[in-house]
Amino acid sequence: MNIEEYKDVWVFIEQQEGQIIDVGLELLGAGRELADKLEVNLCGVLLGHQVKESANFLYSYGADIVYVIDDPVLEQYRTETYMTAVGDLVRKYKPEIFIYGATANGKDLASAVATEVMTGLTADTTLLDIDLEKRMFEASRPAFGGNIMATILCKKHRPQMATVRPKVIKKPEPVQGREGKTIEETISIKEEDLVTKVLEIVRDTEKAVNLEEATVIVAAGKGIKDAKGFAMVKELAEVLNASVGASRDVVEAGLCEHDHQVGQTGLTVTPKIYFAIGISGAIQHVVGMQNAEMIIAINNDPEATIFNVSHYGVVGDAFEIVPMLTEEFRKVFKGEESEGVTADV
């Protein structure tokens, strides 16, 4: 493989029922920085049916070129069709770097493409950079149980590929009127050649929690001890119209479902306000919430590491402080005059 032939930064633009999902736009923001450092084009890869028109939208988020394959066979995600389409594009246009959202489909596709074009893949990265001297893509992710950040290089194969979790990177502001170029390609596979058929899409309507989109999250850690403590945290969340998050220990104690878990093996969240109640601040939790705009920690241990990442810290017993906060916020939202929180903390 002559790696010199490979250039440009590519981003896989995932769509669901024709709607582009946010992670692709977030990655265009990150990709723009990488492409600018390397002085190459930033390209989006958009597959689907009747999706061509969305290319203009992608230019406004920083794409210079959008490769589009618009075909009924690509309407729904299937590994076989998407892998073939992307593999053909990679072989023809030779990108230097290719990043995908670490969604269920993004992870499936990236790993299939890695085997199809015989290159490496770094999964679930949280930091992307370039070593300009060596012209090498640096994809970093927590490793060894989150105790270190490992920077992974793909030295001998191209493209250098990574998946990035949704919400790890901030979506850039669109620049209206920004223009680019669309390159249309075709896929040779026909529906009758395919063994996998999508018969029906069944939505998980039970899954009411959408922590990744929440503006305010009230999260419980093991310090809340039991179901009574968890109910106390839920009450504060209700008054604030917030979503409830949890550390892994709380999920493992059976106090809530895994959908609520924030962290390395849970979700990455970026709310405006994150209350960390009785959470110690283990790195595996922190990687999932450290990009919140404001972190308010309540912990009875003044040395708790959560205070290293929090903007406001309250040292004290959650069982005293949380009910007081709930009461005060209730008054504020009802328009009653607050007397102020007088906790001895």
Sites of contact with ligand FAD (CB under 6 A): 145-146, 221-223, 247-250, 261-266, 278-280, 282, 284-285, 288, 298-301, 304, 317-319
Question: DSSP letter string over 285-322?
Answer: HHTTTTT-SEEEEEES-TT-THHHH-SEEEES-HHHHH
Distance CA 43, CA 51 (A): 16
CA atoms within 13 A on the CB side of 118: 5
Q: Which is nearer to ligand FAD, 56 or 300 (CB)?
A: 300
Q: Which is nearer to ligand FAD, 85 or 277 (CB)?
A: 277
User: Strands 121-125 and 160-164: what pairing?
Assistant: parallel
Shortest distance (Å) from residue 139 CB to ligand FAD: 19
Token look-up 């994150």 returns: 274
Q: What angle do CA 35, 59, 113 make, to 5 degrees?
A: 60
Shortest distance (Å) from residue 241 CB to ligand FAD: 23
Cα torsion through 324, 329, 334, 339, rounded to 10: 60
- Residue 289 CB neighbour total at 10 angstroms: 27
CA atoms within 13 A on the CB side of 114: 20
Shortest distance (Å) from residue 286 CB to ligand FAD: 8
Q: Which is nearer to ligand FAD, 100 or 230 (CB)?
A: 230
Q: Which is nearer to ligand FAD, 127 or 189 (CB)?
A: 127
Q: Which is nearer to ligand FAD, 147 or 241 (CB)?
A: 147
Shortest distance (Å) from residue 222 CB to ligand FAD: 3
Shortest distance (Å) from residue 255 CB to ligand FAD: 10
Shortest distance (Å) from residue 100 CB to ligand FAD: 21
Q: Which is nearer to ligand FAD, 239 or 282 (CB)?
A: 282
